[in-house]
Structure 1
Amino acid sequence: MQITPETLLAANRSTFAPKSLPGVFTATAGAGGSLRGAGEIPDTAFLPEGRPDVLETRVPPPVQDGPYTIGVGDVVLLATPQAGNTIEELSGLLAAQNSRQGYTVQDDGAIAVPDVGRVPVAGLTLEEAEAVVFRRLVEAQIDPTFSLEIAEFNSKRVSIGGAVNTPTIAPISLTPLRLDQAIVAAGGITVVDQDYATIRIYRDGTIYQIPLAEFYTQPDLQKVRLTDGDSVFVDTEYDLAKAESYFSEQIQLASFRAELREAAINELQTEVSLRRADMSEARDNFQTRLELDSVERDYVYLTGEIAQQGRYPLPFDRKAVLADAIYEQGSGMANERANARHIYVLRGSPDPREFGSVTAWQLDARNAANLLLATRFELRPNDVVFVSEQPVTRWSRVVNQITPSIINLTATAAN
């Protein structure tokens, strides 16, 4: 069958998926790694100031709005219908009565529900947690009629200290915690000289401050939203030593977090090095197996008037074409002996019962433009590429075979 643009499409239509390299050649040593530290390294904290001429206002960045997420230590209340006898049900005594049971979110982020097991809820909103509990009740074949609410908020808190009546820790609940609410929770401010008093907010290694005079006159400053881990300290000129001690402890905690992060990075680097060594060994083993010919490969066989007869391994992860096999490593055709008119690709039937069924695709390369078809003709496993010889080459070989016989006969007669 002559190779033409039309027949080329038919030849390439047969299904073939090249063999792929092992996954170790595409994996990276850092895949799956995660830092085990305590988050980002905090920025350099501002130190408490002395009595300045004008107190600087440094408002913390706004906190993004979002629903409350359940955390470790929160108490989740699960209310389910309470069973009763027929008389109680008919009299309506059990109407709206529910069995209410509280569950504390453990350090693994889950609650332990009887007959259901551990249900992970940490990091979920109340709506998401209801969906998870519903699914687990159905899987346990338990009546999924229930309601879920948070009875105690213990996972997200803000500490308030300094010149307040009652230093305290205020929890963050379903509603956002504002600065004025936090100060009220601590019993209010107890400073005398309000002109040089300030409210300092420690967040993520940075100290922000709001002068008390501005706090009282600007409602937007009163409604600054606080977030988990904030520390609020009401400071005056006379309490600078106390403020310094308070924030010194916070800065030490930030330094400790930075050390944890550095240790986590070192651990991750060690893990990456071990993975990289393991992957390198796996790749070297595969390369050795290739060299020892112990890896199953697909081959195309080259014969006839070609510079180097042999087998051409089909590449991994891509398809090879006729030109790849002929010109691999600069071999090409034997120009003096090859007949460019008769370049064949012999392809057998995939059905073993049709062993003698062979399709011969012929490329006429006398027209150099036809060589472009060789760059698009896809090869399949066990194809045989055959390049025919020139007629003169055939005659030359006959002469070379006959000439020694004639010489021998002549020599014999002479003797």
Structure 2
Amino acid sequence: MIASSFSNSLVGKPGALAGILALWLSVFLPGCSLTPGMDMKRGSDISDATVPVMKDGKLVKEKVKIVPITADLIIERENARLQDASKLTLPSSEAGPGPYRVGPHDRLQITVWDHPELNDPGGEKILPELAGKVVQDDGTIFYPYVGTVHVADKTVSEIRDLLSEGLSKYFKKVKLDVRVLSFEAHKVAVVGEVKHPGVQSMVDTPLNVAEAISRAGGVTAEADLSHVTLSRGEKLYPINLQALYEQGNNGQNLQLMDGDVLNVPDRYHSKVFVTGEVGRQQALQIHKGKMTLAQALSESNGVDFNTSNTEEIYVIRAGQTKPEIFQLDGESPDAMILAEQFSLQPHDIVFVGTAGVTQWSRVLNQLLPSSFSQVMTRGAFYGF
């Protein structure tokens, strides 16, 4: 009621309106810098706030340098990425797997020709799961005439020679054959976003990453193929299945070994976040392991040119040890080319700054009652 009466009393008095407006500006304008809302420090190459940064194994507080996105930066980052990839030593550089070596719990079928008494009693009537000789935990089997034989870590040909030598002391012209009925000694685990996660037995043919994924029924729709990991002993190796499937990069198709754990993660954490003066603020899923700054802005319905300051397009990369902030000047003619070539990483935050006039408009909307806004509108009509 008071505000309404006050505004009505000033109608037709431009001088009074001008004085009142000047008074309000002098009171509230200095406080604009304190109004809530996200903003970056203009005209500075250092962030306003201090953040935790890892240095010499310890977390310390520092301000983050704001790095302009330029062609030189993109070239430098891409060359560093390629150099790091070339330095990465994957298990594929090691000697490939040789013939299958028998281990505990494997089931062996031993056939001695012309001597059926040495073979499985009952012959074909024995159930397959009960046939043959099971390798004991200590890596041995017992065989008639030969006795206890250590077969663990030996190939079937080596076992055949060993048994033939033992039986030749009792029989002439021994003809003997050995084969693995059940492979139980060497196993790998395939976990994560596959249709049938679990443990897989290794057989007498080499098992690689692609085969193991296929045995597990393939990946699910939520799988992140770009960040698969192989755990071997105390080491963790990154594997890019996307590059294997789409680019034929066989360097990613590693041969698996006993005890390996292959983990296919989900895509849930592979997101970037777009906020600020864009058409739609949202979290975006990184598709097939790659998203550029231009794609992120486009999928967010672009930059709002009515309210944004296109000189202030930021990529905030928190990181675990080294936070980074990058700035793209959208006013530059080559800005969109640079944006298309600047690759984002999971958890990046894309922030588009607000134009000064938009900030001032929002301050007025927050601080001034609607009736006084009407006064200013009328004052504008009268020309002050």
TM over 0.5: no
Provide TM-score, normalisation by structure 1. 0.38
Provide TM-score, normalisation by structure 2. 0.40
Higher strand share: 2
